[in-house]
A = this chain, B = another copy of it.
């Protein structure tokens, strides 16, 4: 099956699979859109979450938009993310690793649907500039300006020409002015700093509504220097068709919905309005880089693409979590050379970054050495100064994505004084637990990103080894054959569909003495008198 040609083909696929809610009634983009989609993240189980397509948008002034909005269409759930990759949910990480191994260069074409309408030069604002699009308000009641969320910023390294794609929020400062909020270690930031050094602005294209693979690559921390358009091709399994920008030689997807071309200014910065962040709190006192629009190209009746972010769980914690899992898995398994690492799970409640569970597997029947467990735990802090914060190692029989399963292991395979280490010298970034809020005039660069060096109390990480240190007695559930037989009965009786949660049957963990095995065997045949006899023979005064 060929990869999706464009966002529209992908949305049809979601629709056909009951993973898209199409809203025909009029919706106020500034007061109703985000709260409505938000409800599915605060009130529905993950399997009931879907993408949304809003077809009739208005705003508080009553203006009607000739533009629909697609929200939560990439990461409403892990299942939907897998649909964007055309694979099963359990194959997502495999697809990512393949894309890194076999990137495919993009294919330059002369033109494409994204050039159907072009506004530039003195006609830039003929349809209102950025105000032509129904750009929604996020974190309603707290933020100050509509927010551009699902943007893929395309830039080229001023020295090497390699394309970087990254997603950073923008705010709608005016019809020809938006912003780009990058972290200090973002790859786009490195391009920008090089331009600042040369005293020139950075040419950039903000792409809205590419195929899902563009969004996935854009949100994920792909190693610096890799051409991300080729990684998109690696995920799609075919080269991405791209066109040149009107005002620069940046290459952008030919089938995108909207491309905003312009210059990122490095010579001045503007303060942000209050901004909802993935930690679940508003962030204040940050500075943004201005983006001055030079040209807008778009399809007829364009679809504005929007993410639901902020308080987790959200669409962005799904996308970021899956990307972080792939990155950490690749790092521990391949870069650190720990083949015992089977899975890595990042949890929504931690904004998908702070809580990390590492699942280890025994190889060749040899129990993973405790030193290897700690190699993985310690190494997990190596790829970022601020995430993860809580890292838990578990055995192969634990489901790392299920907090109940993980804390079953913590409660019964972990002794705090023996199996916990606290690592100082970490960075808190936007995590408010490290330093109290500072007034604007108190904030300087040291405080904007409080670190172990700058905060009054520092930041730290906790590593927890919740693997078994030795053999255990069996898991106290009926053996597999009993549970399977009972499942047939369950279905015959017409009870609600089961979603089995691991473990769902009892299994041996190494300790199962012969006399107990013999008793169980007799019991299976109903020979209880013989079991009683065995036990009573060992009665003692």
Residues of A within 8 A of B (CB): 21, 23, 25, 27, 30-32, 34-36, 38-40, 42-45, 48, 59-61, 137, 139-146, 172-174, 177, 267-274, 276-277, 279-284, 287, 290, 310-313, 347-351, 354-355, 389-390, 403-405, 407-408, 410-420, 422, 424, 428, 431-434, 436-437, 439-440, 457-462, 468-479, 481-483, 485-487, 489-490, 492-493, 495-496, 498-501, 503-504, 506, 509, 511, 513, 516, 519-520, 522-526, 528-529, 531-532, 535-536, 538-541
Could you list 8 further interchain pairs (A-B, Cβ under 8 angstroms) beyond the known A144-B519, A145-B528, A437-B471?
Answer: A35-B478, A270-B538, A273-B520, A283-B473, A311-B503, A347-B407, A348-B404, A418-B460
Contact of A500 among B43, B411, B440, B532 (CB under 8 A): B43
Instruction: Say whether B141 contacts A520, CB under 8 Å.
Output: yes
CA distance A470 to B403 in the complex (A): 28
Least CB distance, A432 to chain B, in whole angstroms: 5
Residue of B nearest to A409 (CB): B349
Instruction: Say whether A431 contacts B417, CB under 8 Å.
Output: no
- Residue numbers in B under 8 Å from A469 (CB-CB): 433, 436
Residue of B nearest to A30 (CB): B526
- Residue numbers in B under 8 Å from A531 (CB-CB): 144-145, 273
Least CB distance, A193 to chain B, in whole angstroms: 16
Instruction: Say whether B520 contacts A143, CB under 8 Å.
Output: yes
Instruction: Say whether B457 contacts A415, CB under 8 Å.
Output: yes
Instruction: Say whether A411 contacts B390, CB under 8 Å.
Output: yes
Instruction: Say whether A270 contacts B535, CB under 8 Å.
Output: yes
Contact of A462 among B30, B420, B519 (CB under 8 A): B420
Least CB distance, A467 to chain B, in whole angstroms: 10
Given contacts A415-B459, A511-B437, A526-B61, contact A140 B36 (CB under 8 A): no
Contact of A528 among B34, B146, B270, B486 (CB under 8 A): B146
Number of copies: 2
Given contacts A416-B460, A474-B281, A476-B139, contact A498 B43 (CB under 8 A): yes
Least CB distance, A281 to chain B, in whole angstroms: 5
> Interface centre among A347, A477, A535, by most B CB within 10 Å?
A477
CA distance A273 to B516 in the complex (A): 7
Instruction: Say whether A404 contacts B404, CB under 8 Å.
Output: no
- Residue numbers in B under 8 Å from A479 (CB-CB): 140-142
CA distance A500 to B35 in the complex (A): 13
- Residue numbers in B under 8 Å from A440 (CB-CB): 513
CA distance A410 to B388 in the complex (A): 13
Closest 8 CB pairs of A and B: A141-B479, A43-B498, A144-B519, A276-B476, A35-B486, A60-B526, A416-B462, A310-B476
Contact of A142 among B418, B474, B500 (CB under 8 A): B474
Contact of A35 among B143, B351, B485 (CB under 8 A): B485
- Residue numbers in B under 8 Å from A428 (CB-CB): 415
- Residue numbers in B under 8 Å from A481 (CB-CB): 141
Instruction: Say whether A473 contacts B412, CB under 8 Å.
Output: no
CA distance A284 to B473 in the complex (A): 8
Residue of B nearest to A50 (CB): B495
Contact of A535 among B271, B354, B520 (CB under 8 A): B271
Q: Can you pick out 24 interface pairs between chain A and chain B where the beta carbons lie within 8 Å of each other?
A: A21-B493, A23-B493, A35-B485, A42-B500, A42-B504, A45-B45, A139-B506, A144-B535, A146-B528, A173-B536, A272-B535, A273-B535, A280-B476, A310-B476, A311-B476, A347-B404, A355-B407, A355-B411, A403-B403, A415-B457, A416-B422, A418-B457, A436-B469, A437-B472
Least CB distance, A180 to chain B, in whole angstroms: 14
Least CB distance, A443 to chain B, in whole angstroms: 12
Least CB distance, A94 to chain B, in whole angstroms: 27
- Residue numbers in B under 8 Å from A44 (CB-CB): 496, 498-499
- Residue numbers in B under 8 Å from A31 (CB-CB): 482, 485, 524
- Residue numbers in B under 8 Å from A437 (CB-CB): 470-473, 511
Least CB distance, A8 to chain B, in whole angstroms: 23
Contact of A173 among B34, B282, B532 (CB under 8 A): B532
Residue of B nearest to A440 (CB): B513
Least CB distance, A414 to chain B, in whole angstroms: 6
CA distance A273 to B520 in the complex (A): 8
Given contacts A144-B535, A462-B420, contact A407 B350 (CB under 8 A): yes
Instruction: Say whether A407 contacts B403, CB under 8 Å.
Output: yes
CA distance A255 to B406 in the complex (A): 43
